[in-house]
Structure 1
Amino acid sequence: MPVSTEQTAVDAAGFAGRDVTVRSSAVLDLNVVKVRLMSNQEDFAGFSYFSAFADPATEADFEIVCVDLDRDPYDTEPLAAASDRTFRAKRFRTGFYLVHFFGAPAYLITRGRRFHVFGHRLEKTVWPYFVKYILTMHAVDHGMLHLKSAGFAHDDGSATLLVGRQGGGKTVFLAQACLAGADFLANTHVLVDDGVAHGVHTAMRIRADACFGDLIKAHDLTPHIESGDHVVSPHDLFEGRTTPRAPVRNIVLADFDPSRPRGLEETTPQAMTAFLTQFSSALTMYGLKDDLYDHCGKDLETYTRAHEAMARRLSRLVHGARLFRANVDMLDARTRDDTLARLAGR
């Protein structure tokens, strides 16, 4: 992991009383976005979420400065006074970061495209909030669509996007497709630009179950000390078979339920649009509507135009793809091969 431990400083005296001492940093490669993540801790746990890094000299689109108050105490009174006057900053100060992610109260101070956050255990803010916020606002500003989605690419270079509720089998579907020869595109975040899916390659958290048990043993993975999950780079897990982008051929709603009839059935644009709007749209899934409103300068017309543009992009994506609902056991080799052959158009 290319994390620099060269000690530097970030100018914060104007709002924190003194500069921030940076003891670890790296440029996260989120495909269409580069983010410089910095911490005043030598061994910052926030880096473990990521598997793709850019050269440290790369100019980043955004910067995140995480300041652990146990490592370097700061007077919280000026931090509170300088905190953003946004909905999210107010939530941070109560210890709630995003949806069900919470921890100690934190102070969010934004200066341009640099986010400073002061608090404790700030790795809890990096993946849960900052990554989702940055990808969503970048998508809004650049005419893209941010979806909570996994995905893989077929031999012809076209992509299948996998969406679904928690526990619907997306990760198993993705892993079995890639182990059967498909190229890994994304495991959580996809940005779609005019029918092309740009995948975000981040670390995968997997459990010792029927799908991943043998892989965990083969790669000699160590479980996370708290969650019990095993963390692995998709590049390592799938032996380098990865791709940064691919045109979307299929959208598959993974909805595995052994009690229902099995099969891969086509569905309608209306049904897929309704599902994606509620279960895959980053704005809805991650509760970022207030963040977007603040991002739009609290201007209702700008906010409305942003919503309308997202709806048009979603509609174009859905109407340009083949749409399926999958209740298939991807751990069964014959079912897996038949399913992948149909998705590939064979």
Structure 2
Amino acid sequence: MAVSRPTPLDLSALPVRSTRTADLGLLTLQVTSNLEHFDGHAYFARDAAEGTRPDYRVDCLDLDRDAFDPAEVAALADDSLRARRFRGGYYLSHIHGEPAYLRTDGSRAYVFGRRLERTVWPYFVKRVLTDFAADRGYLHLKAAGFALGGGRATLLVGPNGGGKTVFLSQACLAGARFLTNTHVLVREGVAHGVPTSVRIRRDDRFGPLIDRHGLTPHLESGDYLAPAELVFGGRPVDRAVVRNVVVVDYNPRGRVGVEEIDPATAETFLSQYAHAVTTYGLKDDVLAHQGRDVAAFSRVLGRMNRQLAGLVCSARCFRVNADLRDPAVRDAVLERLAG
């Protein structure tokens, strides 16, 4: 008896009920959904110009909204390691959810599942930024950043919970210009910010802002998502030459203060806590993007590693353990960084 095969799903006829094309600085990303309201759109801070042809596109198809044939959906999924992990409900890093089906066709990806906002920022944004960096000669870093009075950038790196968001927020509230909250693309000593929403917590200062603008909750932290312009005022700076690289790890029981560190120490730390390929566990995605060509993969990673070494050698590198919520401490730290 012949085994029946599922009918191929027509990818050109998928329903689109909401869409947003986001400006990510050097590139654009279109995210569509078959839901009328898709929470994944809230993570983007800036829209691309009307009529922009996106560099990348992700189509998010909620399985509860339309009656897709499960066999057809499963049949079109990739056989990559990432797609197999998606089918197991593991997206990236510590982000988990229901099983999902991933298909990648060049610069376009399709994902079928539920609560797919959990895939957009945690995985797809990181992947397209890393793909772009691999193709265009950039280094993708997990870093926050701001520009001080002279226009030079300070990049903030460190472990989760180390205080980067507090450091960034306090610097910007004190007059620094916002560059980026989470991602930066670096080439030849210039940091290009990736416009993204910032997280704010409901308190006396931000509670009215959250209610007035109906801000979307962050998918994990309990904070809310807001454009940087809304929080700090003024348009963020798009790019700046890197002056400082700061390792932020606030620990009041540790050695408090600001100390300069040597480039080798900074490079080793950033290779584990800021280099996107390592930090986000994207090595298999980069290898797949290079067509599983080991030599091409090694050339790309080697070039990124050299860029990282060059960055810390051309900048001043610091370790900062300080509570920037104290205005006197904040002003002293910013004065040191601006010196």
Q: TM over 0.5, yes or no?
A: yes
**Alignment of 1:61 onto 2:55:** yes
CA RMSD in angstroms comes to 1.7
Among candidates 87, 106, 125, match of residue 81 of structure 2: 87
1:83-162 equivalences in 2 (<5 Å): 83-162=77-156
Query: Which amino acid counterpart does residue 48 of structure 1 have in structure 2?
Result: A
Q: CA deviation at 1:218?
A: 5.3
Partner of 2:41: 47
Q: Are 2:189 and 1:195 aligned?
A: yes
Question: For residue 336 of structure 1, what is the aligned residue in structure 2?
Answer: 330
Contact 1:16–1:74 at 8 Å: present in 2 too?
no
Whether contact under 8 Å (2:179, 2:193) holds in the other structure is yes
Alignment partners' CA distance in 2, 1:289 and 1:66: 24
> Deviation string for 1:158-194 (max 9, x for gaps)?
0000001111111111011000100000110011011
Structure 1 residue matching 2:31: 3-state secondary structure: strand
1:111 Cα offset (Å):
2.1
Asked if residue 215 in structure 1 is aligned to residue 205 in structure 2, the reply is yes
Q: Which amino acid is the alignment partner of residue 45 of structure 1?
A: D
Provide structure 2 residue ranges, at least 5 long, that are not aligned to the other structure: 1-6
**Which letter does structure 1 place at the counterpart of 2:119?**
T
Measured against aligned partners, the alpha-carbon deviations of 1:277-336 in whole angstroms (never above 9, x if no partner) come to 011111111110111111111111111111111110001101000000001111111111
Give the distance between the partners of 1:127 and 1:20, measured in 2 at CA: 22
1:103: how far off? 1.1
Q: Is the 2:40–2:120 contact (alpha carbons within 8 Å) kept by the matching residues of 1? A: yes
Q: Helix, strand or coil: the match of 1:22?
A: coil
Q: What's 1:231 paired with?
A: 225
Following superposition of structure 1 onto structure 2, how do residues 177-326 of structure 1 map, counting pairs within 5 Å?
A: 177-208=171-202, 213-217=203-207, 219-221=209-211, 224=217, 227=220, 228-326=222-320
Could you tell me the TM-score, scaled by structure 2's length? 0.93
SS in 1 for 2:258: strand
Q: Could you tell me the percent identity over the aligned residues?
A: 49
Q: 1:137 to 1:226 in 2, by over 3 A?
A: closer
Return the alpha-carbon distance in structure 2 between the equivalents of residues 60 and 316 of structure 1: 31
Q: Is the 8 A contact 2:191 2:240 kept in 1?
A: yes
Counterpart amino acid of 1:313? Q
CA distance in 1, matches of 2:207, 2:97: 33
SS in 2 for 1:205: strand
- Contact 1:26–1:56 (8 Å) recurs in 2: no
Instruction: Return the letter of the residue paired with 1:215.
Output: R
The one of 5, 12, 19 equivalent to 1:25 is: 19
Separation (CA, whole Å) in 1 of partners of 2:73 and 2:226: 36
Could you tell me how far 1:206 is from its partner in structure 2?
2.5
Distance in 2, matches of 1:339 and 1:14, equals: 59
Aligned letter for 1:328? A
Deviation at residue 234 of structure 1 after TM alignment: 0.8
Give per-residue Cα distances to partners, 1:112-166, cap 9 Å, x unaligned. Answer: 2111111111111100100000001110111101010000001111000000111
Q: Which SS does the other structure have where 2:159 is aligned?
A: coil
Query: Would the aligned equivalents of 1:37 and 1:64 in 2 still touch at CA under 8 Å?
Result: yes
TM-score w.r.t. the length of structure 1 is: 0.91
Question: Structure 1: where are the runs of 5+ without partners?
Answer: 1-12
Q: Give 2:282's aligned amino acid.
A: L
Q: CA–CA distance in 2 between the matches of 1:18 and 1:70?
A: 20
Q: 1:73 aligns with which of 52, 56, 67?
A: 67
Tell whether the 8 Å contact from 1:51 to 1:202 is kept in structure 2 after alignment: yes
In the alignment, is the contact (CA less than 8 A) between 1:104 and 1:119 conserved in 2?
Answer: yes
Number of residue pairs the alignment of both structures matches:
329
Alignment-derived partner of residue 4 in structure 1: none
- Partner of 2:185: helix, strand, or coil? strand
| CA deviation after TM superposition for structure 1 residue 224, in Å | 2.6
Task: In structure 1, give the amino acid aligned to 2:64.
Answer: D
Give the conservation status (yes or no) of the 8 Å contact 1:98–1:129: yes
Tell me the secondary structure at the aligned position of residue 104 of structure 1. Answer: coil
More deviation, 186-195/224-233: 224-233
Distance 1:85 1:289 in 2: 16
Contact 2:95 2:122 in 1 (8 A): yes
Q: Which amino acid aligns with 2:302?
A: E
Please name the residue that 1:165 is paired with.
159
Aligned 8 A contact 1:16 1:75 in 2: no
Alpha-carbon deviations, 1:23-67, whole Å to 9, x = none? Answer: 111111111110111111100111111111113411100111111
Q: Residue type of the partner of 1:216? A: F
